[in-house]
């Protein structure tokens, strides 16, 4: 009975576990695909516990009823729809050429007069427009608390200026002058035009915080010139001296005109090479508006004013020729340099291009110049003739020097050849003397070698003889007497197979025992007849 009860309990537990798991993996499961996020709003406890709603205008924390700040990313999430409202939120995608301007809907209210909020997404404390603009990319943004407005490049006219924001591109050769629409306590920047400029590049600019003026930097050319009289075919109309005629006294006339100190009307063209450097751009925007306004309001008027005031101090003749014209040129350059430098504009060079002198002044001076030039031409022709004669004389001198050099070279060559032969023969004789000396030395060395070899051989033989005699002496001393040594030598010299026979050889027995030893002599015996 107990076993049956336990089995029933186990079965019930398994069924409950299977049911809970099935419920959890079906009803509570929420799958978030890539590119989306899951927004949760907590509904509160179903039966037990109290329902504490979040403060109005704020995110709900983990125990409060309301929308949670944190989004859940792609994947499987298990939140029961009984307690949570689940909303699928698409990611915010900002494409290149766009920026995102974010407005925070939740948080504390800003102080009066403030509308920009510091901080990043999810870290803001106040309601308002985020100071930081979002660059291109993909962002997971909770739409309950943040609203994103996608903007491209925005151009706004403000008088003679063009203010830009959004996706701002600053090309090469330009800088961006920044205008703060509100103060930034984090960087201690006040509202207004800033001294630091943006270098070339791409910038996401929040149009509610900043605006950008794109200013060209570097040098440019400005020319103030008189309009020329032209024929119907478009070519210039010239006077008898070949000078172009200028348009004066009409609406089309331009350039610089002033009276000389002797009462003649003078007309002039002037060119200035000027520009703005990066550190000068903010002052130009603040004071004049843009580069074109700098040219129209400062450069051209100053060129006209300076040239008029300076030119009226000179006579017509002084403006046409001589060192006075150089002084006039330098005076204009110095005066224009001083004025533009004071207004933070760089001047590289100012040049008086052309001065139109009245005909009645120009012609006598030109005729005088022509006469002077003719005189100089004649003098130069004479100098040329002299130079031609000197050239011909120099050519003859060159030929003579050439022949002299050839003869001298040949003579030196033969001297060098003879000297070389003499040195060769000297070296050859010296070599033969050295060879004879070497041979003589070799013969001496060979004789010495033969002598030393003979002496060595004699010395060796002497030493061998002395060693042999000394050996005999030592042997005799070892045997005690000469006869004993002789006997030993005699004995050692006998052959090993000798046959010795002993016989008695007493007095009168020698001849009788000869037969026994095989040594009997055949001595003839004389017989008596």
Distance of alpha carbon 371 from alpha carbon 140, whole angstroms? 89
- Cβ atoms of 144 and 39 closer than 8 Å: yes
Which pLDDT does position 362 carry in this prediction? Answer: 67
What is the full DSSP assignment across 168-198? EEE-TTEEEEEEESS-BTTTTBPSEEEEEEE
* pLDDT grade for 508, boundaries at 50, 70 and 90: low
pLDDT confidence bin for 87, thresholds 50/70/90: very high
Across 161-183, average pLDDT: 93
In this prediction the pTM is 0.60
28-37, 39-48, 226-235, 305-314: segment of lowest average pLDDT:
226-235
- Tell me which residue of 312, 345, 304 sits closest to 328, measured CA to CA: 312
Question: pLDDT tens digits, residue range 21-45?
Answer: 776 687 788 999 999 999 999 988 8
In this structure, what is the dihedral angle of CA atoms 57, 61, 65, 67, given to the nearest 10 degrees?
Answer: 60
Q: Name every residue whose Cβ is closer than 8 Å to that of residue 395 and which is 6 or more positions away in sequence.
A: none
What confidence score (pLDDT) does residue 348 get? 92
Residue 63 has pLDDT above 50, yes or no: yes
Tell me how long the chain is. 529
Using the predicted structure, report yes or no on whether residue 330 has a pLDDT greater than 50. Answer: yes
The answer on pLDDT for 529 being more than 70 is: no
Cβ proximity of 74 and 39 under 8 Å: no
pLDDT at 339: 94
β-strand partners of 258: 266
In this predicted structure, the answer to whether residue 304 has a pLDDT above a threshold of 80 is yes
| Chain mean position to CA 150 | 40
Q: Which of 106-120, 129-143, 483-497 has the highest mean pLDDT?
A: 129-143
The conformation of residue 280, written as its DSSP 8-state character, comes to G
pLDDT at 272 over 50: yes
Query: Rounded to a whole number, what is the distance in angstroms from the first to the last CA of the chain?
Result: 184
Strand 210-216 with 218-224, pairing: unpaired
524: which 2 tokens? 């003839």
Provide φ and ψ at 490, rounded to 5°. -60, -40
Of residues 341 and 17, more confidence is placed in: 341
Q: What percent of the chain has pLDDT over 70?
A: 88
Q: Is 333 exposed, middle or buried (0-12, 13-18, 19+ CB in 10 A)?
A: middle
Q: What is the dihedral of CA 348, 353, 357, 359, to 10 degrees?
A: 180
Residue 66: strand pairing partners: 42
Helix (H), strand (E) counts: the chain: 9, 21
Q: Is the dihedral of CA 483, 486, 492, 494 positive or negative?
A: negative
Residue owning tokens 């760089």? 346
User: Mean pLDDT, to the nearest integer, of 471-479?
Assistant: 75
Q: Kindly report which listed range (172-176, 217-221, 432-436, 493-497) carries the lowest average pLDDT score.
A: 493-497
Lowest mean pLDDT segment, chosen from 226-240, 293-307, 408-422, 489-503: 489-503
Is pLDDT of 511 > 60? no
The proportion of the chain whose per-residue pLDDT surpasses 90, expressed as a percent, equals 36
Is residue 379 pLDDT above 50, yes or no?
Answer: yes
- How far is CA 27 from its chain centroid? 64
289, 160 Cβ separation under 8 angstroms: yes
**Residue 13 reports pLDDT greater than 60:** yes
Displacement of CA 17 from its chain's centroid (Å): 70
CA 144, 148, 154 angle in degrees (round to 5)? 160
pLDDT bin (cut points 50, 70, 90) of residue 500 is low
What top-level class would CATH report for the domain 218-357? alpha beta
Instruction: List the one residue out of 177, 157, 165 whose CA is nearest residue 129.
Output: 165
One-letter-per-residue 3-state SS of 372-400: HHHHHHHHHHHHHHHHHHHHHHHHHHHHH
Q: Is the pLDDT at 207 greater than 70, yes or no?
A: yes
pLDDT of residue 381: 85
Is 522's pLDDT higher than 70? no
Over 70: is that where the pLDDT of 73 sits?
A: yes
Which pLDDT score is estimated for 414? 87
The closest alpha carbon to 299, from 267, 328, 281, 275, belongs to 275
pLDDT tens-digit readout, 131-146 = 999 999 999 999 999 9
Contact 181, 210 (CB under 8 A): yes
Residues of the chain with CATH 3.30.479.30: 218-357
Query: Hey, what are 151's tokens?
Result: 């903007």
Residue 253: the pLDDT is: 58
What integer pLDDT is reported at residue 266 of this predicted model? Answer: 86
Specify the pLDDT at position 527: 45
Q: Which two tokens stand for residue 435?
A: 């060879």
Q: How far is CA 301 from the centre of its chain?
A: 46
Return phi, psi of residue 212, to 5°.
Answer: -120, 130
Confidence check: pLDDT of 525 > 50: no
Of 231-240, 246-255, 419-428, 468-477, highest mean pLDDT: 419-428
Report the chain's mean pLDDT, rounded to a whole number. 84
pLDDT-derived band at 241 (thresholds 50, 70, 90) equals: low
Q: Which position has the higher pLDDT, 4 or 310?
A: 310
Looking at per-residue pLDDT, the higher value among 312 and 249 belongs to 312
Q: Return the closest-CA partner of residue 286 out of 215, 388, 367, 386.
A: 215
């Amino acid at each position: 009975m107990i076993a049956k009860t336990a089995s029933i309990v186990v079965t019930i537990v398994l069924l409950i576990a299977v049911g809970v798991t099935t419920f959890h993996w079906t009803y509570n499961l929420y799958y978030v695909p890539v590119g989306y996020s899951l927004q949760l709003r907590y509904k509160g406890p179903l039966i037990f516990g109290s329902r504490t709603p979040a403060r109005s205008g704020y995110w709900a924390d983990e125990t409060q009823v309301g929308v949670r700040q944190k989004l859940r990313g792609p994947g499987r999430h298990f939140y029961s729809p009984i307690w949570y409202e689940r909303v699928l939120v698409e990611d915010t995608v900002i494409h290149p050429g766009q920026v995102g301007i974010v407005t925070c809907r939740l948080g504390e209210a800003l102080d009066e007069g403030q509308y920009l909020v510091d901080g990043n997404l999810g870290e803001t404390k106040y309601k308002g427009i985020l100071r930081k603009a979002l660059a291109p990319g993909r962002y997971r943004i909770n739409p309950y608390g943040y609203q994103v407005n996608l903007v491209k490049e925005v151009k706004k006219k403000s008088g003679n200026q063009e203010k830009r924001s959004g996706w701002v591109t600053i090309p090469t050769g330009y800088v961006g002058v920044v205008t703060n629409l509100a103060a930034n306590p984090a960087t201690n920047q006040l509202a207004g035009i800033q001294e630091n400029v943006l270098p070339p590049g791409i910038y996401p600019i929040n149009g509610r915080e900043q605006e950008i003026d794109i200013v060209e930097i570097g040098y440019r050319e400005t020319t103030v010139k008189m309009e020329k009289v032209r024929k119907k075919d478009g070519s210039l109309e010239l006077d008898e001296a070949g000078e172009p005629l200028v348009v004066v006294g009409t609406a089309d006339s331009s350039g610089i005109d002033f009276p000389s100190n002797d009462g003649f009307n003078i007309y002039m063209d002037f060119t200035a090479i000027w520009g703005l450097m990066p550190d000068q751009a903010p002052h130009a925007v603040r004071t004049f508006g843009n580069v074109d306004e700098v040219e129209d309001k400062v450069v051209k008027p100053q060129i006209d004013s300076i040239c008029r005031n300076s030119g009226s101090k000179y006579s017509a003749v002084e403006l046409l020729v001589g060192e006075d014209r150089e002084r006039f040129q330098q005076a204009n350059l110095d005066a224009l340099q001083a004025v533009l430098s004071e207004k933070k504009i760089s001047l590289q060079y100012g040049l008086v291009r052309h001065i139109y002198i009245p005909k009645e002044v120009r012609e006598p001076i030109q005729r005088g110049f022509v006469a002077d030039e003719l005189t100089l031409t004649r003098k130069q022709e004479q100098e040329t003739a002299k130079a031609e004669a000197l050239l011909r004389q120099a050519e003859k001198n060159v030929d003579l020097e050439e022949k002299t050099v050839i003869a001298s070279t040949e003579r030196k060559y033969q001297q060098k050849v003879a000297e070389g032969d003499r040195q060769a023969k000297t070296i050859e004789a010296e070599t033969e003397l050295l060879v004879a000396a070497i041979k003589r030395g070799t013969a001496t060395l060979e004789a010495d070698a033969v002598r030393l070899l003979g002496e060595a051989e004699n010395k060796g033989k002497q030493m061998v003889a002395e060693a042999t005699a000394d050996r005999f002496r030592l042997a005799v001393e070892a045997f005690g007497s000469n006869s004993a040594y002789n006997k030993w030598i005699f004995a050692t010299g006998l052959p090993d197979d000798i046959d010795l026979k002993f016989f008695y050889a007493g007095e009168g027995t020698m001849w009788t025992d000869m037969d026994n030893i095989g040594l009997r002599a055949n001595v003839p015996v004389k017989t008596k007849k």
